[in-house]
Structure 1
C-alpha cells in the first residue's frame, strides 16, 4: 500500500509537470496509452512463463458486461479529465486532499444506487467529511475558486465509478476489470486529445510516460494490498500521498502550505478512515455469519 501511495503521488507530480506544456485531454490520453502498454506485460508475465499467454489473455478478456464497462469507462474518463484539470490548476495539496473525499461520496452513492443501509455513526462520518471539504474549498472566503469545485465534482464522479466497479466485480476478476478499463479508456480519450493536440517536446515525453507507468503500478499495487490486508488498516497509509505532493508543491512549484487545506484534509482523513473501519467490521461480521446462513438456507 505504501508503494502504491508513492506511485500515485509521483503520478500527480508528473501530471502537474506535463501540464506546463500539454493540454489536460492530451495528458489523459497518454496516461491511458502508456498505462496500457505497462499493464500488458505485467498481466501476461505469469502466463508467458507457463507458456500459454494467448489462452490467459482470452480468459482475462472473457466477460458478459461490455455495456457496463462502456458506461463505467465513459464516466471514468470524465472524472479523469476533471481530476487532472484540478491537479494542473490547483495547489497540489488541495487537489489531492479533495480527491480523498471520494469515499464519503461512495457511501452516499451506495445508499442511493445500491440501497445499502448506513447507520448513524457512518452518517456522522459522512457529515464530518463534508465539513472537511468545506474547510478546504471555503466558499465564503476570497480563497474560493471555481477550480476547487471541479476537484469536488471529480471526487463525486469517482464515487459513482467505484460503485460501478463494485457491480462489475460480482462477475469479473480484478485483472479483467483493469484490462477492459484501459482498452476502453484509450480510444475514448483520443478524440479530445486530438482536438487539443499539442506535439509533446523534450521532457514532456518523460512526464507523460511516467504518468502512465506510475498510474498502472499504483493501481496494481493497490489491488494487491487490498487482497493482503484489511482496508481499515491500509487506508491511513494512503495519506502519505498528501505528504508527498505537499512537499513537492512547496519545493518545486513554490506553493505555500495552506493551514486550512491541512485542517480540512485531516477531517476528511478521519472521516474516510472511520468509514473504511466500519465497512471492514461489517464485512468481517458478514463472513462470520455466512456458515450459519449456509446451514439454514430457509432463514
Structure 2
C-alpha cells in the first residue's frame, strides 16, 4: 500500500453511512504523518530484501508474501486482544481493493529494489491521477479543467522521472508507474470502506484476503531466506500494518482533501532513508520530476477541497 490521496466526489454521499468517528483534523494530520514515515520505511526494507543487502535478493512476490503474512499476524493478535465489534463486511469491495493493493505493493517493492526510493515514491504519487481517470467510467464522475490540468502536471513529472524513449529509461520506473495505476484503483475502494467499516475490521479482512493471494503466488518463486531476511520480512509486515492503521484512521477523522497533502512527506522520508542507509542522493533531474509530480497532486488536492466547500 503506498496510497497518498483519495479524490473526493467519487462515492455518492447516499452510498456512505454516517461516519464512525467525530472530525478531528489535528489528530488526523498526526496520524497521516506517522503513516507516511512508516510507508517510506516499508519501501526501505523492501529495497534491502530485494537487493543483496541481507543475503541473496528475494523475489518481489516473496517480499510481498512476508509483508502480508506478518501484517496479518499482527492485526489478528490486535483483534484478539481488543475484541472489536465486527459488522458484516462488504466482501466484494474488500476483494477488489485487496487485488489492487496486492498488485500495487508487489510492483512497488520491485521498483524500490531497482531505482532510488525517492523516484519510486514520487512516481507512485501519480495514483490520484489514475484514480481520477478511473472514476470517470466507473463512477460517472465529471472532471473539470482544473483537475485535467493537475493530472497533466503530475503525469509530466512522471515522464521526467521515467524519461521514455531515452537510454536513461529504467524498468524500475515503469514498475513504479504500474504500482501507481493499481494503487489508484485501490483508493476508490479504500475510501468507500473507510466510511462504512471500522479500521481494524478493514485491516483484518484486507490482510486475510491478501495473505491468500500472496501465498498462492509465492510458491512459484520461494527461496529459503537468511535469518536477516526473515527479520526483514517480519519488520515489513509489522511496519505496514501500523502504516495501514494510521492511514485509515486519518481518513476516518478528516476530509481526504484536507489530510492527504501531508502524505507527500513520504517522499521526504524515503529520500532521507535512502541517503542515510544506501548513500543514494537524488539527482537534479529526479528532484525536478519529483517536485513536478507533487505539484500536480497538490493542485488536485487543493481543487478537490474547493469543490467540496462549494458542495457544502
| TM-score bucket of the superposed structures, by smaller chain | 0.7 to 0.9
Q: TM-score, normalised by structure 1?
A: 0.84
Aligned ranges for residues 152-163 of structure 1 at < 5 Å? 152-163=177-188
Q: Secondary structure at the match of 1:195?
A: coil
Instruction: Give 1:197's aligned residue.
Output: 222
Q: TM-score, normalised by structure 2?
A: 0.81
Aligned ranges for residues 33-52 of structure 1 at < 5 Å? 33-45=69-81, 48=82
Instruction: Give 1:7's aligned residue.
Output: 38
Q: Unpaired segments of 5 or more residues in structure 2?
A: 1-31, 52-56
Q: Say whether 1:78 aligns with 2:103.
A: yes
Aligned equivalents of 2:195, 2:142: Cα separation in 1:
19
Structure with the higher fraction of residues in helix conformation: 1
Instruction: Give 2:16's aligned residue.
Output: none
Aligned-pair CA distance for 1:173? 4.2
Q: 1:277 to 1:43 in 2, by over 3 A?
A: farther
Q: Say whether 1:24 aligns with 2:51.
A: no
Cα deviations across residues 259-286 of structure 1 (Å, max 9, x unaligned)?
1121111111111122122223333443
Q: How many residues align?
A: 276
Cα deviations across residues 127-153 of structure 1 (Å, max 9, x unaligned)?
111111111111143211222112101
Q: Say whether 1:137 aligns with 2:162.
A: yes
Aligned equivalents of 1:234, 1:79: Cα separation in 2:
22
8 Å CA contact retained: 1:4, 1:222: yes
Aligned equivalents of 1:185, 1:202: Cα separation in 2:
24
Runs ≥4 in structure 1, deviation > 6 angstroms?
Answer: none
Question: Out of 100, 115, 124, which is 1:99 matched to?
Answer: 124
Q: Secondary structure at the match of 1:2?
A: helix
Structure with the greater alpha carbon radius of gyration: 1
Cα deviations across residues 226-246 of structure 1 (Å, max 9, x unaligned)?
233443443332222212222
